[in-house]
């Protein structure tokens, strides 16, 4: 049982996290072994994200203090949250990969909350974002799609110029 001072300190930490970050991803970690949780924390750290576990009631109080209309007590199970100052698309992929590895053990993605837009995304949306290729790959695909017709046009011009030279 936490003392009142410890609870006040945790609420303060949660308020600081809410104020300094852009996204929160809520996860259910019940049934996960400690070594799996450590592996997740290491992976997240590489992407500039961190996992924190605070009682849902204390987290709700922190949200209220920050004047954000969101209640984390809506989640029924043990809840932790992953916070980051980066965009959700940058951390959804490693979270989703970890989810696929330990899905049978009970790890679940519960949803994400965008602190800037003050909007909640459900678990399915976070999973879909996690399945997308990285930004660099998407940009490379876009460049490839844009340049393909140009390359074809250049080949046609090259062939036509060769035909003109032969005649």
Q: SS3 for 49-72, per residue?
A: EEEECCCHHHHHHHHHHCCCCCCH
CA distance 32 to 138: 33
- Cα torsion 128, 76, 21, 4 to 10°: value is -170
Global confidence as pTM: 0.78
Question: Which pLDDT band holds residue 167 (cuts at 50, 70, 90)?
Answer: low
**55 near 10, Cβ under 8 Å?**
yes
Could you report the per-residue pLDDT of 10-36, keeping only the tens digit for each?
Answer: 999 999 999 999 999 999 988 888 898
Quote the CA–CA distance of 15 and 2 in Å, as a whole number.
18
Q: What is the pLDDT of residues 72-82, one digit of tens each?
A: 888 888 889 99
What are the tens digits of pLDDT across the range 132-147? 888 888 899 999 999 9
Alpha-carbon dihedral sign for residues 132, 137, 142, 145: negative
Kindly tell me if the per-residue pLDDT of 9 is higher than 90. Answer: yes
Given a contact cutoff of 8 angstroms between Cβ atoms, the answer to whether 28 and 77 are in contact is: yes
């Amino acid at each position: 049982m936490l003392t009142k001072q410890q609870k006040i300190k945790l609420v303060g930490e949660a308020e600081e996290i809410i104020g300094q970050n852009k996204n929160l991803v809520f996860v259910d970690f019940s049934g996960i072994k400690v070594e799996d949780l450590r592996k997740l924390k290491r992976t997240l750290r590489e992407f500039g994200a961190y996992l924190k576990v605070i009682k849902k009631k204390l987290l709700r109080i922190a949200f209220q203090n920050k004047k954000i209309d969101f209640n984390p007590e809506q989640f029924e199970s043990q809840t932790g949250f992953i916070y980051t100052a980066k965009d959700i698309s940058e951390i959804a992929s490693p979270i989703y990969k970890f989810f696929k590895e330990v899905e049978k053990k009970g790890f679940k993605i519960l949803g994400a909350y965008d602190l800037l837009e003050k909007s909640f995304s459900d678990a399915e949306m976070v999973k879909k974002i996690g399945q997308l290729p990285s930004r660099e790959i998407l940009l490379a695909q876009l460049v490839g799609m844009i340049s393909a017709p140009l390359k074809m046009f250049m080949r046609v011009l090259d062939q036509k110029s060769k035909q003109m030279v032969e005649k």
